[in-house]
Amino acid sequence: MLVDDHAVVRSGIRRLLEQHAGFVVIAEAESGERAYQLFGEHLPDIAVMDLTMPGMGGMEAIRRIIARYPAARLLVLSMHENAAFANQALKAGAQGYLAKNSLAEELVDALEAIIKNQTYISSGIARKIALQSLDNKGDPMQQLSAREFEIFRMLAEGLDSDGIAAALKISSKTVANYQTTIKQKLGIGSPVEMVRLAIRCGLIES
């Protein structure tokens, strides 16, 4: 199953996979909500998923798919070449993480590895994760759950509680509770501090 909000990206991946024996695209989704629904209907052997999509987004979709289908195999194909995003996607339950600028052959290698129950992370991102683990400051985002990370990212991008609640299909009160927990875990007290930390971690641009 292919999950990306851009039809041209899904079409390109489909064409690439159709050139390799053994791969058949049985479903396509343009949002996290649709991905969760179609995964249950089709139960694909593997899903290739983007993270940044309107609405629920890929991270939350991964979390929900894994919660309902623990054996699901999910490969993230994202524009975010960032250790924080990769760490959180793997924490949420994805078995692999590739940047969208990876070579086409690497996508096939990643899919074949994950089908064999191996984890696959593109070399550039794996290097960033390794370097970050050597940094004394580490990755503050590692303190957050996948749900907390997604809410932190949305807050840092300027969404209000109601907007986040609508996107994730949860109540504004629940968002407020998460916001309090996030601030406590990260030791931040203001929206400005939140944005600065998000910039430092490469989640948003300055």
Q: Where are the domains of the chain?
A: 2-134, 140-200
Backbone dihedral angles phi then psi of residue 48, each to the nearest 5 degrees? -100, 120
Q: How far apart are CA 191 and CA 73, in angstroms?
A: 36
Q: How far apart are CA 138 and CA 25, in angstroms?
A: 39
Query: For the residues 66-75, what does the mean pLDDT come to?
Result: 97
CB of 89 closer than 8 Å to CB of 51:
yes
Residue of 111, 60, 162, 202 lying closest to 97 (CA atoms): 111
Q: How far apart are CA 201 and CA 116, in angstroms?
A: 32
Statement: 2-134 belongs to CATH 3.40.50.2300: yes
pLDDT in tens, 123-179: 888 888 787 766 656 678 888 988 899 999 899 988 999 999 998 889 999 999 999
More confident residue, 1 or 129: 1
Residue of 123, 74, 80, 126 lying closest to 99 (CA atoms): 80
Report the percent of the chain where pLDDT is more than 70. 96
**What's the whole-number average pLDDT of the chain?**
90
Q: How far apart are CA 70 and CA 167, in angstroms?
A: 24
Same fold, 2-134 and 140-200: no
Q: How far is CA 75 from the centre of its chain?
A: 9
pTM value?
0.80
pLDDT of residue 90: 93
Q: In the numeric block, which tokens belong to residue 2?
A: 């292919």
pLDDT of residue 27: 97
pLDDT of residue 11: 95
In a 3-state reduction of DSSP, which class is residue 121?
strand
Predicted confidence (pLDDT) at residue 54 exceeds the cutoff of 90: no
Q: How far is CA 137 from the centre of its chain?
A: 23
pLDDT of residue 200: 84
Query: Per-residue confidence at 108, pLDDT binned at 50, 70, 90?
Result: very high
Statement: 140-200 belongs to CATH 1.10.10.10: yes
Query: For the residues 43-71, what does the mean pLDDT come to?
Result: 94
Q: How far apart are CA 70 and CA 118, in angstroms?
A: 15
Q: How far apart are CA 100 and CA 83, in angstroms?
A: 15
pLDDT of residue 126: 87
pLDDT of residue 139: 74
